[in-house]
Each structure stands twice: as structure tokens, then as C-alpha cells.
Amino acid sequence: AQSVTQLGSHVSVSEGALVLLRCNYSSSVPPYLFWYVQYPNQGLQLLLKYTTGATLVKGINGFEAEFKKSETSFHLTKPSAHMSDAAEYFCAVSEVPPNDYKLSFGAGTTVTVRA
């Protein structure tokens, strides 16, 4: 089974500062990679995903992530944090085909934004 490691369970940033959330995965073949965001008392919402092709992926709300195969990483960034970015963020990786519908999630990183 795939595994995902998110470094840092909590990240605090100032409004307007860079947001950087780290994600590393274990996989012997290039997987599908995802970042989801969860606001309080809500389900998960897809921010962005990597399937094939361009390794820099742009998502919603100004977030982007870069797939680095050599580092088995898929870190999430946003140049300038907004108060509305306060939430929990999950990195996920799919299993290899044909079970690629099955996602393994990291433990999550809670982001707080200071005014």
C-alpha cells in the first residue's frame, strides 16, 4: 500500500506570507497525487491533482504544487496567505492500477493564519 507523510501537523503563517506544506509519498511507480482542503465541519474539497504531464500543477484559490519524482515529493504552496486559507490540508496518493481509485491520505496539516 502507498503511504504519505506530511511534515508538520500544524503550520502558522502571517497573512500575506508564503504558505508551504510538505508532502512525501512512497511509490515504486508514478502515482496520482492530490491535495484536499477541509474546512471545519465540512467534507474534503479538491485543491489540485497531478496525473501526468506538467509537473507544476495549479489549483484553486491560488495554490500550486510541484511533483518531483526524484524526491518523491508533492509540496503545496501559495505565495500570499489569506485569512480564508485557515483549514486542514491533506495530501493523498492513489494506489497503483487497477486499484487506483483507492486513496491513501497523509495525517493532515492544520494551517492557521495570523492577522
Partner 1 sequence: GAGVSQSPSNKVTEKGKDVELRCDPISGHTALYWYRQSLGQGLEFLIYFQGNSAPDKSGLPSDRFSAERTGGSVSTLTIQRTQQEDSAVYLCASSYTSGGAVEQYFGPGTRLTVT
Under the binding rule (CB under 8 A), the answer on residue 60 touching partner 1 is no
94 touching partner 1, by CB under 8 A: yes
**Residue 53 binds to partner 1 (criterion: CB under 8 A):** no
- How far is Cα of residue 110 from the mean position of the Cα atoms in its chain? 12
The sheet carrying 19-26 orders its strands as: 3-7, 19-26, 73-78, 64-68, 56-58
Q: Please identify which residue in 5, 77, 104, 110 interacts with partner 1, judged by CB under 8 A.
A: 104
Distance, CA of 35 to CA of 47 (rounded, Å): 5
Q: Between residues 19 and 92, which has the closer beta carbon with respect to partner 1? A: 92
Of 29, 54, 56, 101, the one binding partner 1 (CB under 8 A) is 101
